[in-house]
A and B are shown apart, each in its own frame.
Chain A
Amino acid sequence: MRRMRHWGPGLLLLSPSLILLAVFVYGLIAWTMKVSVSDEHTARGSEGFVGLQNYIDLFTNDINGRFTHSLKNLLIFTVVFLGGAMLLGLLWAFILERGVRGEGFFRTIYLFPMAVSFVASGVVWRWLMNPGKDANAGGINAVFTGLHLDFLQNTWWTNADWGMAAMAMPAVWQLSGYVMALFLAGFRGIPKELREAAAVDGASTYRLYRNVIFPQLTPVALSALIIIGHMSMKMFDLIMSVSGAQWLTEVPAVYVWQALLTSDYSKAAAISVILLLLVAVVIVPYLIYTNRAEKNR
C-alpha cells in the first residue's frame, strides 16, 4: 500500500499518455499486422486469414516486380541521401569549427533549408530538375545550356537506373545543414583539455583529429545517421511533389498509398509492416546501445 502511494499518482498522471500510446500506436500496429495476414484486397472487406501469403506475394508474385523495384529505388535513394548529407554536414561543421569569420551567418544559411517543408522544396526541385533538353531545357539544364555546358544536361530523376540518386539531391540539400548542426554541437562538446593535452604531447593537427576528436564524434554521427536514415526510409512527400506517384520513382511508402487508393488494404498493410521492420532494424540496436551507454554513465 505504501509503495502504491509512492508510485500511484505518478502512474495515474502518466496513464492518459500510456493509454493513448497503447491504443493509437501499438494497438494500431497490431491491427495493421492483422490486416496484413488477411485476405482483404478490395473494398468488400476481409475474406479470411492467409498467413504470410501477402508478404510472399510481394516478393515473388507482384506484377512487374513492383515491390522489389520500389525497394531498389529506396536503397539508391537512401545511400545517396545518407552519404551526401553526412559528408557535406561533416565538412561544413569541420570548416566552421576551424574558425570562420561570420560563423553565425553561415550556420544560419546552411541550417535554413531544413525549415522548408519537403512539399514546398519538392515543387521547386521539380522545376529545377526539369528533364527537357536543349530547346526544351528548363531549370538546371537551362543554366547548363546558357553556360554552353550542354554535355552536363541531365535527365535527372527520369533516368531509369539512377534517377533516385537525383531524387536524393533535394533531401541532401535540406538536411545537410541539420547534420552540420549536430556535428558542430559534437565538436563543441569535446573538452578543451583534451586538445590542450594533445598539443602538449606534440600531436599534429591530423593526429589530433584522427585520434582525439573524431572518435568522440561517433555517438553524434550515429544519432545523425539514425535520424536522417529513418526519414529516408519513410520518404513520401518529397517524391510525391517532385514526380508524383509513378513506377519510375516508386518507393514503399508511395506504394502503400497507391495500394490504399485501390482499396488493397492487405497489400498496403503488408508493405507498411515491412517498412516498420526496416526502420526497426536500424533503430532498435541504436536504442539498446544508448540505453547501455546511459547505464554505464
Chain B
Amino acid sequence: MGFTRRAAVAVVGVAALLTASACGGSDDGGSGSSKVEVFTWWADGGEKAGLDGLVNQFKTDCSGQEFVNGAVAGGAGSNAKQVLASRLQQGDPPDTFQAHAGAELLDYIDAGQVEDISSDYDSWGLKQAFPQGLIDNLTVDGKIYSVPANIHRANVVWTNKKVLADAGVTADPATLDDFFAALDKVKAKGIASPLAIGKDWTQLMLFESVLITDLGPQKFTGLWNGGTDWNDPTVTKAIGDFKKLLTYTNSDRDALDWTDAEKMVMDGKAGFQLMGDWEAADLDAKGFSDYGWFTFPGNNDTFQWLADSFVLPKGANNPDGTKCWLKTVGSADGQKAFNTKKGSIPARTDADPADYPKYQQSAMADWKSATQVPSCAHGSACSQGWQGAANSALGAYSTNQDDAALQKALAAAAQQFASK
C-alpha cells in the first residue's frame, strides 16, 4: 500500500514536470507569406522614429505586405546580434535584419547566410544613386549583399567655438601641424586637455583618422583589404603622431564614454573632440548650439563612412516581401523618411538638402564629391573579431604607450582576420 502511494506521487510529480518543460518548447514564428519580419536593434529614440518613418513608407509602397517589428532592444545591438546568430544557426532567419554595411557582413556572407542582390541594385537604379566609392566598399567578389539605409561620417572634429575664439584659433586647421599649433594655443589658455576623448573605440576612431592623414585614402583602405602592410613605416609615423595627439587628451580617458568627452567640450573643459556625426544630433538635442566642426586635419576630402543596412537572408519566409522592404529602404522617399528623423544623411546622392538640418547639408555636399573610405571602429572596414582585437590593442596602448607593441598587435590582428 505504502509503495503504491509513494509510486503514484512520484509518477504524478515527474509527469507534471515533464509537461511543464514540454510546453516551453514549441514556438512557431508564425510568419505567413505576406508578413515581413524586420529584425533591428532600433527600439527607442531617433532610431525608432526613423524606423517608424520607414515603416510608413513601406505601407504605401508595398500594399499587401505586413510589417512585423522584430526589434531586440539593448546593448547597442549586442543583444540583438546574439539572438540573430542563434536564429541563423537554427535556420530560422527573420525576413530581413539590420547589420553594419561593409566588412561586418563578411561573416554572414562567408557563411552563406545572406543572398546576393546585385541584380536588384541594377533594376532599382541604386548603382547610379549611390556614389561609386560606396558601391566599391560594399562589393565583395563582385557581388553586393546589402542596402544601406543611412550614412554617418566618422572623421569629424567637433569644437567649442567660444573656447577656440578665446584662444585665438580662427581658422580650421588643415594639416596635422596646424592642429598641433591650435591645440597648443588652447592649452596655453589654461585648458589642460584641449582634445577630449573616451575609451578604446573612441581612441581607435582618432587613430584611424591619423592613419588616413598619414597614408592617404587608398593606402588606408588597403590596410583593411590586405593591400597595405601594417608594418609599413607610414603606419609607424602615424602611431607617432597619434601618441603626440594623446598628450593633449584627458588622462582619465579610459573612464569616459563618448558622451562624457562630449560634455567636456560643452563645458569648455576641452576645445576639440573627434567623433562621428551623430554628435551633431546629440548636441542639438542637448541644447548646445555654439559648436563648430571640420574634417579631421589632413583628411582633405576623404569621407570615412559607416552605415546601417538591410539584407536578404537565405531561407527567408517571404523573399518578395523582403525585396519590397529593401527597395523601400533604398528609395529616395524611404531614405528621406528614415534619415530626416534619425539625424544621418541618405546614401543616395540625389536627395534634396533643403529637407535636412544644417550639419547634414554640409555632409551631403561632401558625400557627393568625397573619396569614401570605411571605418573599423564601426564595422565597415573590418569584421567583428578584428574590431575587438583593434579596440583591445588601442586600450593597451592607452596605458603602456608602447609603439612597437601596438604596431605588432595590429599587424597580428590583420594577419589573423584579413584572410578570413
Which A residues fall within an 8 A CB radius of B?
5, 8-10, 12-13, 15-16, 41-45, 63-64, 66, 69, 126, 130-133, 135-136, 155, 157-158, 160, 243-244, 246-248, 250, 258-264
Q: B26 at interface (Cβ–Cβ under 8 A)?
A: no
Q: B14 at interface (Cβ–Cβ under 8 A)?
A: yes
Instruction: Assess the A63–B255 pair: CB atoms within 8 A.
Output: no
**CB-defined contacts of A157 to chain B, threshold 8 Å:** 255
* Contact residues on B (Cβ < 8 Å of other chain), bracket: 35 or more
Partner of B10, one of A13, A135, A262: A13
Q: What's the Cα separation between A14 and B11 when bound, in Å? A: 11
Whether A262 touches B111, Cβ cut-off 8 Å, given contacts A12-B7, A43-B85, A63-B409, is no
Instruction: Assess the B111–A44 pair: CB atoms within 8 A.
Output: yes
Instruction: Assess the B387–A262 pair: CB atoms within 8 A.
Output: yes
Q: What's the Cα separation between A130 and B305 when bound, in Å? A: 33
Q: B399 at interface (Cβ–Cβ under 8 A)?
A: yes
14 additional A-B residue pairs with CB within 8 Å, beyond A16-B18, A262-B385: A5-B3, A9-B9, A12-B11, A13-B9, A43-B88, A45-B89, A64-B409, A131-B255, A136-B252, A157-B255, A160-B399, A248-B398, A263-B85, A263-B107
Instruction: Assess the A66–B392 pair: CB atoms within 8 A.
Output: yes
Q: What's the Cα separation between A136 and B249 when bound, in Å? A: 13
Partner of A63, one of B85, B384, B400, B413: B413
Q: B135 at interface (Cβ–Cβ under 8 A)?
A: no
Instruction: Assess the A42–B395 pair: CB atoms within 8 A.
Output: no
Q: B17 at interface (Cβ–Cβ under 8 A)?
A: yes
What 7 A-B pairs have minimum CB-CB distances, sorted nearest first? Answer: A247-B395, A160-B399, A12-B10, A44-B111, A9-B6, A262-B385, A131-B252
Instruction: Assess the B409–A43 pair: CB atoms within 8 A.
Output: no
Q: What's the Cα separation between A262 and B376 when bound, in Å? A: 14
Q: B412 at interface (Cβ–Cβ under 8 A)?
A: yes
**CB-defined contacts of B396 to chain A, threshold 8 Å:** 64, 69, 247
Which B residues fall within an 8 A CB radius of A?
3, 6-7, 9-11, 13-14, 17-18, 78, 81-82, 85, 88-89, 107-108, 110-111, 113, 192, 199-200, 250-252, 254-255, 257, 269, 383-385, 387-389, 391-393, 395-396, 398-400, 405, 409, 412-413, 416, 420
**CB-defined contacts of B82 to chain A, threshold 8 Å:** 260-261
**CB-defined contacts of B18 to chain A, threshold 8 Å:** 16
**CB-defined contacts of B110 to chain A, threshold 8 Å:** 42, 44
Partner of A130, one of B108, B252, B420: B252
Q: Which chain B residue shows the least CB distance to A260?
A: B82
Interface secondary structure of A, over-half rule? helix
Partner of B7, one of A9, A66, A244, A246: A9
Instruction: Assess the B400–A160 pair: CB atoms within 8 A.
Output: yes
Minimal beta-carbon separation of A36 from chain B (angstroms): 17
**CB-defined contacts of A10 to chain B, threshold 8 Å:** 10
**CB-defined contacts of A262 to chain B, threshold 8 Å:** 383-385, 387-388
Minimal beta-carbon separation of A12 from chain B (angstroms): 4
**CB-defined contacts of A13 to chain B, threshold 8 Å:** 9-10, 13-14
Instruction: Assess the B252–A132 pair: CB atoms within 8 A.
Output: yes
Minimal beta-carbon separation of B1 from chain A (angstroms): 12
Q: What's the Cα separation between A8 and B388 when bound, in Å? A: 53
**CB-defined contacts of B10 to chain A, threshold 8 Å:** 9-10, 12-13
Interface secondary structure of B, over-half rule? helix
Minimal beta-carbon separation of B267 from chain A (angstroms): 10
Instruction: Assess the B111–A43 pair: CB atoms within 8 A.
Output: yes
Q: What's the Cα separation between A64 and B409 when bound, in Å? A: 6
Q: Which chain A residue shows the least CB distance to B15?
A: A16
Instruction: Assess the A246–B395 pair: CB atoms within 8 A.
Output: yes
Q: Which chain B residue shows the least CB distance to A267?
A: B385
Partner of B412, one of A42, A43, A63, A126: A63
Instruction: Assess the A158–B108 pair: CB atoms within 8 A.
Output: no
Partner of B252, one of A8, A158, A160, A247: A158
Q: 7 A-B contacts, Cβ less than 8 Å apart?
A: A13-B14, A16-B18, A43-B108, A132-B255, A158-B399, A247-B398, A248-B254
**CB-defined contacts of B113 to chain A, threshold 8 Å:** 43
Whether A63 touches B393, Cβ cut-off 8 Å, given contacts A12-B14, A262-B385, is yes
Q: What's the Cα separation between A63 and B385 when bound, in Å? A: 12
Q: What's the Cα separation between A131 and B254 when bound, in Å? A: 9
Minimal beta-carbon separation of A213 from chain B (angstroms): 45
Q: What's the Cα separation between A244 and B388 when bound, in Å? A: 14
Q: What's the Cα separation between A260 and B416 when bound, in Å? A: 17
